[in-house]
Chain A
Amino acid sequence: MTELNTVEYIAVKSVAEAVTALQSHKGARVIMGGTDLMVGMRDGRIRPSCLVDVSRVRELIGIANHHGSLRIGAATKITDIIEHPVVRQACPALVDAGKLLGGWQIQNMATLAGNVCNASPAAETAGPLLVLDAEVEACGPSGLRSIPVHQFWLGPGKTALEPTEILTAIIIPPGVDGRRSAYQRVHIRHSVDIALVCSAARVVLADGNVQEARIALGAVAPTPIRVREAESYLQGRALSEEVLDKVAELAQAATQPITDVRASAEYRRAMAGVLVRRVLQSAARRA
């Protein structure tokens, strides 16, 4: 508990202030909901020199739909995202995932950006963002930049963000049709739990055939992954049993799972196949 008592804390009012604070405090960390950061600090896994609290920065809060893109402010709470009518219609996979992210208390505190920056291979929202071709908007001393989400995670707990950068928004670009998207996971406890394996998918259908597909898996590799072989295989095909079997096989081949206290590599690989089938079917049923 010592760390919690002695860490410096700055509550900022703007993104610019946040960047300045990050520049002037080496080893500082941005805090939003704190649902991962505070636990990591208590365990001594994360030892920031300073906490830069952006949870009340107005420009970081809210969901905006403009020029056909959906912009989710970094400090928007998971609850606000999953209850948002546009998100519910345009990105149901993200809603599926948000509902499974911790319990209600966590959903009321946690933010989408926090879940992304925590860079857990099992992060609930990672798969949905991957299949929605999301972009991460970051702001640093030299201004704004955009990073495709599939390039954002570098390893467990590691991201492409510079120490002086802050994630400002998650953007679903225009033209992404996310209406047929879904997320599911395998877990042990039905109440609050962490994914042993999770998967998201998005399909665009034309005359019953897949025009475009995105498939993502979590907790089967050092970062959340896309299954591109399966995506291209699906193109132009109907979601028949045989096709789904092949997709499951391709998905399993794309995994590099580990054995840990939660599951064996063998089980994770098998469940990757099960989940990919299920999310594709679930996504396709949505309209």
Chain B
Amino acid sequence: MADAVAVTSQIRKRKSVGQPLPQIDSAEKVKGLTQYLQDLSVPGMLYGAIVRSAIPHGLIREIDTSRAERLSGVRAVITARDCPGVLFGPQEPQDWEILCRNKVRYIGDEVAAVAAISPDVAKEAAALVRVEYQELPAVYDPFEALKPGAPVLWEQHPDNVAYRFHIERGDLEAGFARADDVFEHDFYTGRFYHGQMEPMGCIVQYHADGGYTIWTPTHLPFRSRMTYSKGLGVSMDKIRIVVPPFGGSFGMKYELNINCIAALLSKKSRRPVKIFFEREEDIGAGHPRMGLHFHYRLGVTRDGRFVAKEARVVGTGGARTFWTPPVLSTACYRIDSLYHFQNVRTEGFLVYTNQSPATCFRGFGNAEALTALETFIDEIGERTGIDPVELRRMNGVKAGDVSLHGWRIASCGLRECLDRAESVSGFRNRKPPPKIPPRRGVVRGIGLAAGHHISGNRIIINEYDGASAQVRLGFDGQVAVIVGEPDIGQGMNTVFAQIAAEVLDVDPASVRSLPIDTLVSPHGVGTLGSRGTTVAGRAVQLAAEDARTKLVSLAAELLGVPPQEIRLQSGSAVVASGGGSLSMAELGREYATRYGGAFLIGHGHFTPPTEIPDATKYGNLSTSYVFGTHVAEVEVDTETGATRVVRYWALHDSGTIINPSTATGQVHGGVAQGIASALLEEVLVKDGRVTNPNFLDYRIPGFQDIPEMYVEFVETKDPYGPFGAKSIGESSLNPTAAAVCNAIYNAVGVRVHQTPVTPERLWKLLETARTEARKKE
């Protein structure tokens, strides 16, 4: 209890951390002044367009670029002949080509590209490139692709398996032998597009020294440079990446081949080249969240203990490998750090199919796995007669636990979230579902799901985990934060400013975070894996503390008192006993004047307590772990199958909340996206062609689809993040789809096994249930 009191008094003393400040750049964004990629141009810039495969699978017989080359205004046309020809890519297996050498593998595969003086001319020229194909049979369904004799996409992978995941811990057979009941469950989560406001794009300029400057919003400026340097055949230092403000991403803008295409167009034309996707291209040939099939077998004792879990997960990766291997592994085993399953075996298959390559999406496979698992636990609760919330309490991890795979849970608010969710939502007093779905009328139901996530993830790059930062004070008195992790629109820079401002006791609104440029920023792992606040934020805190030490010593010297007499207070260094103070501006000017204009710089670096997993995949993967519980209340129209989420409650343990306003914003956005994944959004593919590549038939939610939400943070005390902060970006989305599916069950008494639950899909399930009930009569 002493601890708790200490924390409370500490919180009261905080001026910046814990304040619901507006995002530092929000006024600029709202006024339309922010310069996004599409607002940027470089003198002499050309526009690129990509010639895409019109067939799902085939050999390239001939490419005739002559008509495109003759078109007035065209400055460069490139094909595989212009590419270094090495296979490269962000993950194993490396199967990117820049432009297809002899084979196309999906409708939209990149065959050639043109650069021209305007987007219109580029588009026209791209249409003039003639490609002759010898068509090959194609395969779209991962289970078909796994069958012997299926069309093979890559000779090196005759079984169409791009990546296979296997994990085993404990004694599965013994575990099942201990079980009183064994349940099975299948779930499919559909192909889901990021729907970010700003489509993919880049500007690339070739330089006389053989290097390139790339302007592109990317989560991973440093890591993607490693990928592109291999693809382009130049050393890493020859590639400079500058990150403009993000127009949204949600995982889409990690590493993209268009940067290499634009680079080669620039090299050939000797002019900077911009490629910016139209929406149809972004959806139709882009890189959505992959479809994932889950099969679970779970052994449960009579009193509700999980004792064995066997799983098979199959991912529809598409024709090439983006970030899907780690997404698949996450989908396979991250849930083992939410519940103690005791004995597990999971097999995962990432399957090549003739569709555009999938990539990562907020939630990174864990949102999908939780959708499958949390609907399963709801069902197990019902079938065993044990309250499903109690099942979660009983089997859930606790602070101090080490998961089966060696993940160390330093802080855990799972139980608090479950308790609070039950009491604020009225879930405990829910009605049982109807035995037969009513023929008519609108019925209500309520559903609960838990979830968790990481805060940072080992092995994003092999060399290290962690972050570094500088907090500096200049001649002009400006306090600036320098990190290697870009703000991807979620408010990182605001959070960094609050952390630095807290340490230095300055106004957070006056602290600037510098834009990311690989030429000047410290090396950063990237903004992904929910690591921004926790890992980079911790480095900022340490850098600010170092700056504070230096400032105190400078002020002490100037004011002629010992350093322990100096306190930083409201933008100044003051003598605690009174009798003198110096403002930040004065200190900055004094330091610069003494040292030839130098900045006073505080350095900080944070190496998290993570480990590279061993051969059996054992090892602590993340700095800290976050937990949450969501409750959804829905209305289902039993005649049409239309579902509307009418009320929503989200409870989260994300440690200390640095900014309640931006954190709540993350929850609102995560829940909206989660509801969309549950009810609305799916990239539909027929014979390899996306049939809804537009926002009319690819339906992102509007205001009427998203209810008011109750958001509450359960602040546990975590030892690693800055001021005990953990992540929220992905955990806010993770439990949503399952909460909605469970609410649908509670409303109509029918279990769904696939998302999104569109009206027609639910109507079919309702009709089947009603027909079966009539037969029984």
Contacts and interface: CB of A to CB of B under 8 A. Distances in A.
B702 A189 contact: yes
Contacts of B702: 103, 189-192
B699 A274 contact: no
Given A1-B119, A1-B120, A261-B691, A186 B701 contact: no
Interface stretch (A46-54, A87-95, A129-137, A262-270): A262-270
A190 B706 CA distance: 9
B680 A2 contact: no
A81 interface: no
Contact of B680 (A1, A188, A270): A188
B124 interface: yes
A261 B684 contact: yes
B105 interface: no
B704 A190 contact: yes
A187 B760 CA distance: 10
B697 interface: yes
A189 B691 contact: no
Interface in B739-765: 758-760, 763-764
Interface string A263-284: 1100100110010000000000
Interface string A184-200: 00111111111010000
A22 B282 CA distance: 38
Contacts of B684: 261
Nearest to B702: A191
Contacts of A188: 642, 680, 699, 758-759
B704 A261 contact: no
B639 interface: yes
B753 to A, nearest CB: 19
Interface string B681-695: 000101000011000
A24 interface: no
Contacts of A193: 699
Size class of B's contact patch? 20 to 34
Given A2-B124, A5-B120, A274-B639, A189 B699 contact: yes
Contacts of A190: 644, 702, 704-705
Contacts of A267: 760, 763-764
B442 to A, nearest CB: 12
Interface in B607-655: 639-640, 642, 644
B703 interface: yes
Contacts of B697: 261-262
B705 A186 contact: no
B2 interface: no
B760 A263 contact: yes
B696 interface: yes
Interface residues of A, number: 22
B705 A189 contact: yes
A250 B29 CA distance: 55
Interface in B711-762: 758-760
B640 A191 contact: no
Given A261-B691, A274-B640, A191 B705 contact: yes
Contacts of B759: 186, 188, 196
Nearest to B676: A189
Interface of A: 1-2, 5, 103, 186-194, 196, 261-264, 267, 270-271, 274
Given A188-B680, A190-B702, A261-B686, 20 more contacts: A2-B124, A5-B120, A103-B702, A186-B640, A187-B642, A188-B758, A188-B759, A189-B680, A189-B699, A190-B644, A190-B704, A190-B705, A191-B701, A193-B699, A261-B684, A261-B692, A261-B697, A262-B697, A267-B764, A274-B640
Interface of B: 119-120, 123-124, 639-640, 642, 644, 680, 684, 686, 691-692, 696-697, 699, 701-705, 758-760, 763-764, 767
28 contacts: A1-B119, A1-B120, A2-B123, A2-B124, A5-B120, A186-B642, A188-B642, A188-B699, A188-B758, A188-B759, A189-B680, A189-B699, A189-B702, A191-B703, A192-B702, A194-B696, A261-B684, A261-B686, A261-B691, A262-B697, A263-B760, A264-B760, A267-B760, A270-B763, A270-B767, A271-B640, A274-B639, A274-B640
